[in-house]
Homo-oligomer: A and B are copies of this chain.
Amino acid sequence: MKNKLTAKQHATHNTIVTVGKIKIGGLTPTIIAGPCSVESEEQLLKTAVGVAEAGAHLLRGGAFKPRTSPYSFQGLGEDGLKLLVKAREKTGLTIVTEIVSEKYIPLFEKYEVDVYQVGARNCQNYDLLKALGKVKKPVLLKRGMGTKLEEFLLSAEYLVHHGNPNVIMCERGITTFENYTRNTLDLNTVAALKQLTHLPIIVDPSHGTGIRSLVTPLARASIAAGADGLIIEVHQKPEEALCDGQQSLNLAEFSELVDQVNKISHAVKK
């Protein structure tokens, strides 16, 4: 392994990334939840209030969306950030949203985005990683769908080496020959990363499976494998979502997920 600063043996303790009152990488799993995209004030606020009540610790929602097709909904942009700020004010949840280019850093600073997400497609966009190394806020780094474990660690190394120690790694499924599920969630890598790095690791079973009914079992499995938290797509009305509706939970399903995940978390620590 060529990584240095991110290696387990480089630190005496595991890194705990603090966001507001939440500690990611500590004793209890952190749950980030919210819609794939910010679509409207009503959609975002209802979902935000719902996930807060159900026990989420941070709110996710995409304002700038990297979509495979140029003809798909590309996100609300700055208006999306404004709605996220409203949701933060209303619920007290800090916000996680994706940054797709360093040119948006000033905008993210203006709206005081709490956690900057690097999406899977930008996991090896090293210029973006270098720029985010200089940012003061934590970065949630998603693994690319074709990125090997060592390459993933080295992308995290770019962030730390360029000045930002507050990195949360996120496994979100890799491309394999199995196409019943959208991706193959790689929990081997989650367990391995817990032994190889001091950084916190969370899991995205929504993208990792792409199928609503599989999200909760894989959320349980992620925590059992040792993950420090989860990022879950939740929509107040999944059937109306502009993006990823088939993998989004509704609020009742999310509430049940939180309950089950907490039971697993207690069992792991006993």
A206 CB–B CB distance under 8 Å: no
| Nearest CB on B from A37, distance (A) | 14
Cross-interface CB contact of A102 among B71, B101, B194, B270, cutoff 8 Å: B101
B194 engages A217 (CB within 8 Å):
yes
A176 to chain B: which residues have CB within 8 Å? 174, 176-177, 184, 186
Given contacts A179-B179, A185-B187, 12 further A-B contacts (CB under 8 A): A3-B69, A67-B126, A68-B124, A68-B154, A100-B125, A101-B102, A149-B180, A176-B184, A177-B179, A220-B224, A224-B264, A263-B270
- Cβ–Cβ contact A226 & B217, under 8 A: yes
Does A178 interact with chain B (Cβ within 8 Å)? Answer: yes
CB-CB nearest 7 A-B residue pairs: A146-B146, A175-B177, A224-B224, A267-B267, A121-B124, A191-B217, A221-B225
Cα–Cα, bound, A69→B129 (Å): 12
A179 to B, closest residue via Cβ: B179
When distances are taken between beta carbons in the complex, the residues of chain B under 8 Å from A220 are 224-225, 268
User: Which residues of chain A have a CB within 8 Å of any CB of chain B?
Assistant: 2-4, 64, 66-71, 100-103, 121-122, 124-128, 144-151, 154, 157-158, 161-162, 174-181, 184-189, 191-192, 194-195, 208-209, 211, 213-214, 217-218, 220-226, 260, 263-264, 266-268, 270
A217 and B211 in contact, given A102-B103, A174-B177 (Cβ under 8 angstroms) = no
Report B-chain residues with C-beta under 8 Å of the C-beta of A154.
68-70
Which residues on the B side are within 8 Å of A263 (C-beta)?
A: 267-268, 270
Could you list some 5 contacts between A and B, CB below 8 A? Answer: A70-B126, A121-B126, A177-B179, A180-B189, A263-B268
Q: Is B148's CB under 8 angstroms from A177's CB?
A: yes
Q: How far is the CA of A174 from the CA of B188 in the complex (A)?
A: 12
B191 with A184: CB separation less than 8 A? no
Name the CB-closest residue of B to A173: B188
- List chain B residues, Cβ under 8 A from A209: 188, 191
In whole angstroms, how far apart are the Cα atoms of A121 and B128 in the complex?
Answer: 12
Give min CB distance, A33 to chain B, whole Å.
19
Please indicate the chain B residues that have their CB under 8 angstroms from the CB of A185 in the complex: 187-188
